[in-house]
Structure 1
C-alpha cells in the first residue's frame, strides 16, 4: 500500500511538472526603439515588413496599444517593472532606475527567481547600468555605427576637435551586410543564444535599436523603396494647443546636416522618411532571422512571442520630428502577441481594439506562468489574447513632463484624447486639450472648451481623473544632470 501511495505521489508530481511546463512557456520579446505602427499589418501604405506581418498573422494584433511615456528610459522602466512613470517618479532619460529604486522587482529579476534563463540582447533598458546585474545572459549595448568612409572620417574629426556630441549624419545607406550595423549583430547574437538555451526555459529580450536615429541601414533596404512614393506631411500645428504640447525636434537637431533652426526642406524631409522606412525593413529582416531559428530549433511550439515598441514617432507630421509629447502619434505603439503553437486555445490572425498598455506586459507574463508576482499597475492581457473581441479597459493613460514644474497627463478612450497640462505640485490645470481620433492618428484642432463637445470633454476628464486625481501631486525623483 505504501508503495502504491508513493507511486501515486510520484505520478502526481510528474503531472504537476508537466503542467508547469505547459503553463510556463519560453518568452521571446522583440523590443523596438522609436517604432510607430508603420507596418504593413497595421495598414501602412508604404512600409515593407513581411516578417512582422507574418507574426501578426500568427497571433493577435493590438490596434489600440499605448505606452506610458513617449521617451525611451521611463517607458522601458515602466514596461520592465509594471509600474507607471508617475509611480516611479522618473520622467527623463538621464536617471537610471536603480539610482532611485533599489528594491523594485523587475521582469528579469522575477523570471530569474522562478528558474528562467533571462537574456538581454541589444537595447532593453535605456541605461546599461540598469541592465547588467539583472540577467542570466547579458550582451553589452553597442553604440551607433557608421560604415561610409566619409562619415567615419567625420566622426574622427569631431573626436579630434573635442566635440561632446559624436553624432554623424542623420542617415546612411552603405552597401554592406546586415551585421555591419548593430541590429544585424543583435539578431546574430540572438540566434547564437537560442541555440545555447534551447534546452532551458528562457525569457529573451531582443532589443532592436532601429528605427531610432540615425537612420543607418544597409543599402539593400533603402533600395526596396521609391523615395517618390513618400508624401511630405503637413507641417500644420494643432490649433489652440498648449504652448508646450509639441516639441519639434527632439534629438534630430544634434545630427550633422540638419539645420539648427527652421523647417526642413522637402528633399531632406523625404530622405529622412525614406531612411525611417529603410530602418524598419532592416529590423523586419532581423525579426525574420530570429523567428526562423525558433522554428528550426523546434522551439516555436512552446514559445510566446511578443513584438512591441517603446513609443511612437513623428516623421514630419505637424512640422515636428521624433517623439517627446502626449500626442496620439507619439503614445500609440504597435503590439503583437503570438502564443506558442502548441497551446490548445491559440488564436491567430485576429485584431483586438481593446485599450491596452505597455505596463500590462509584465502581469500578462506572470499570469502566463500561473504564478503570483509583484503588485504592479497593469492588467494581464491573457483573457484578451484568448478572446480578442473582449471588452476591456475604458481608458489608457500617459504622461509627459515639461521640466519639474509642469506635467502633461493624457487619456484616450480609443476615439478621443484629452490632455491636461498641470502644475506638478498643486495640480492646477494650466490648459486642457481635446482631440478627435476616430479616423486618424492626427488631429489639428483643440476642441477643449467647444460647447458642441462639452459632454465628451466632461466624460474624458472623468476618465483622466481616475488615474490622475487632483489631490495627488506628481512624484519627482529625477536626478539632476
Structure 2
C-alpha cells in the first residue's frame, strides 16, 4: 500500500479544530462500520498480492491500517458482543455461539444503545449481532433479511429435496458461482438497503453498522468475482499440525462438514481445497465491491467529510492450514484481524498510515465515543483516536484473546506482536493444564512448533507468562461466575 505522509503543524491544528467543532456540536461526526464475517488479513493493503480488494485498499490509503489488530475470541457471537459492548468476553460472561447478550445481560450498556441515548440514529444492516434480533431496542433502523444463501436453481431444488426427505441439515453446497447480479446474494441486498438508508439519513447524525457476511461459508458469490482468479494459482497449504501442540488446541471443523459435497471425515483432497480457497477469495472480492458502492454513496451525498469509517472483521479463519476449515482456536490465523479507520474529513493530519501498535476489537466502542465527543463510560477497551494522529506512539504491550474447550477448560492467550503464549487452564481453579509458545513471524503466521518448555526459549516464555497474568491473574474467580 502506498503510504503518504504529510504531517504538518497546520494540519494538526486543523485536526484539533475539527475535533473541537464536534465537541461543540457544530458538526457532529457520523460513523459507518463495516463489520465483516470470517475475514482474515487477506487484502491487498495487508500485502496479499493475489487478492482483488481495490475498494478496501483505497479506504486504507485514506486512513490508518492497523497491522496488529486482534479479536477477543475466534467465534461470531462472543466476538460481536465484545465489539458492541466494549467489554471482553470474560467480563460479559458469554463464550458460546448460542447465547444472546440480552438473555443474560439485560442491563449491560451497548454501543447502539449509548449513541441512541445521545441523539444519534443507530442503524443495523445485515449481520451485526450474531443473533439478529438481540438488543433490538437499541437500533432506530434495523434491516436483516436472511433469504437463502444460494442463487442457482439446481441448488435451491437440492435444498428443497433435503427438506422433503426430513433431513435435519438442509445446507446446500459449500460454494456457488451463479451468473447473477450482486443482489442475487444477501450481501448485495444488504448493500442496497444501506444505500437507501444513507439517502434517508443524510441530514441526520447516525451510527451505521453494515454487517457483510462474506467470506463466511458458504463461499457463494456471483460468477464475475470467481472469474477474477485462476484456481490453479492457489497453493494447497500444509496440513501438518504444529509439533508439540496441545492436543485440544485445534478443533473439529464440523461447520464445513455439514455442507453438501464435503466428505464426512478425513482431509480434503487438493482439488476440493483449491475450489474452496477460490471461493473464499471470490467472496472477498464480492464483499469488497459492496464496500465500494457504499463509499461512493458517502461521497455523492457529501457525507464523507464528517463520517468516520471503520472496516473490521469479527475474527479470522483457517482455509486449509493444519488441514482445518474453521476459526474456533487461539491460533494467530483465527484471532488476528484486519482493522482500518479512515477519518477522511478536512483537517485529518495524515492519510495512508500503517500502525504496528497492538490494538483490539474491544477498542472500537471507546474510539467512536471519543471521536464523537461523548462522555466515556467504563469500558474494557481503549480509544485508538491518538493513534490516528501518531501511529508510532507508545501503546499497549500485549493483546489478549481466549477460547474455551468445553465448560472445564479455558484457553487464555496473549501476543506481544512477535510471540504468542497460551495457557490452557481449569476454568474454575485456574490450574494450568498445558502451555503453548509460538512464534508469530513464521511464514503466513502459520505456527509449526510449540516452543514451550524448551531451555532456549525459557526467558521468552517467562516474559509472556507475566504478560498473560496481567489480564488473567491466578486469583481470579471462575470464568463462569
- Aligned-partner Cα distance in 1 for 2:244–2:167: 39
The equivalent position to 1:331 in structure 2, one of 329, 332, 335, is 335
Structure 1 pair 144/72, CA: closer, same or farther in 2 (3 Å)? farther
Structure 2, unmatched stretches of 5+, are 1-18
Helix, strand or coil at the partner of 1:129: coil
Q: CA deviation at 1:151?
A: 0.5
Alignment of 1:290-369 (within 5 A): 290-342=294-346, 344-369=347-372
Structure 1 pair 139/220, CA: closer, same or farther in 2 (3 Å)? same
Aligned to 2:163: 159
- Aligned-partner Cα distance in 1 for 2:465–2:479: 21
1:392 counterpart = 2:395: yes
Root-mean-square deviation (CA, aligned residues, Å) is 1.4
1:88 counterpart = 2:100: no
Q: CA deviation at 1:144?
A: 4.2
Structure 1, unmatched stretches of 5+, are 1-14
8 Å Cα contact 1:340-1:346 kept in structure 2: no
Aligned to 2:198: 194
Q: CA deviation at 1:143?
A: 4.3
Structure 1 pair 390/162, CA: closer, same or farther in 2 (3 Å)? same
Aligned to 1:435: 438
Q: CA deviation at 1:140?
A: 2.2
1:373 counterpart = 2:371: no
After the TM superposition, which segments of 4 or more aligned residues of structure 1 sit over 6 Å from their partners? 15-18
Aligned to 2:60: 56
1:125 counterpart = 2:129: yes
Q: CA deviation at 1:129?
A: 2.8
- Aligned-partner Cα distance in 1 for 2:135–2:254: 25
- Aligned-partner Cα distance in 2 for 1:385–1:107: 21
Alignment of 1:60-459 (within 5 A): 60-342=64-346, 344-440=347-443, 441-459=445-463
Q: CA deviation at 1:57?
A: 0.3
Give the TM-score normalised by structure 1: 0.94
Give CA deviations for 1:184-203 in whole Å, capped at 9, x if unaligned: 01110010000000000000
- Aligned-partner Cα distance in 1 for 2:129–2:56: 22
8 Å Cα contact 1:253-1:260 kept in structure 2: yes
Helix, strand or coil at the partner of 1:314: coil
8 Å Cα contact 1:119-1:136 kept in structure 2: yes
Helix, strand or coil at the partner of 2:429: coil
Give the TM-score normalised by structure 2: 0.94
Aligned to 1:3: none
Q: CA deviation at 1:23?
A: 6.9
Give CA deviations for 1:144-173 in whole Å, capped at 9, x if unaligned: 421112101111011112222221110000
- Aligned-partner Cα distance in 1 for 2:387–2:145: 34
Give CA deviations for 1:393-420 in whole Å, capped at 9, x if unaligned: 0000000001100000000000000000
